[in-house]
Amino acid sequence: MNASMPRVVDLDREDIKEGLQDGSILLVDVREPHEFAAGHIPGAVSHPLSSFDPSSLPEGRRIVFSCAAGVRSVRALEFAQAAGLGIHEHYKGGFKDWVSAGEPVE
């Protein structure tokens, strides 16, 4: 496997809903603070990619990255993996997918 290619596991909206419901995942929203403030998935925590520090991520829960449409979440995965963290999952559709499906927003 190419070391520069991160291992990326795409999760869909149902995976996210299930994980948030049973408390098994911590959804980390890597959009910028103004985007997060304008609306986010209930239960998500804000860790903006522009000031992203993988070492600040909490331990003990399955971390899943989310952004607007699945691009920045993959960048966050690359940063986390480069820092030696075993994080591989992101919400492929991101916030746009969540909103377009009529899911609740905070």
Task: Please say if 67 is a catalytic residue.
Answer: yes
**Length reported for the chain:** 106
Q: DSSP assignment of the chain, as one string?
A: --TTS---EEE-HHHHHHHHHHT-EEEEE-S-HHHHHH---TT-EE--GGG--GGGSPSSSEEEEE-SSSSHHHHHHHHHHHTT----EEESSHHHHHHHTT----
Catalytic residue among 67, 76, 80, 87: 67
Residues catalogued as catalytic:
67
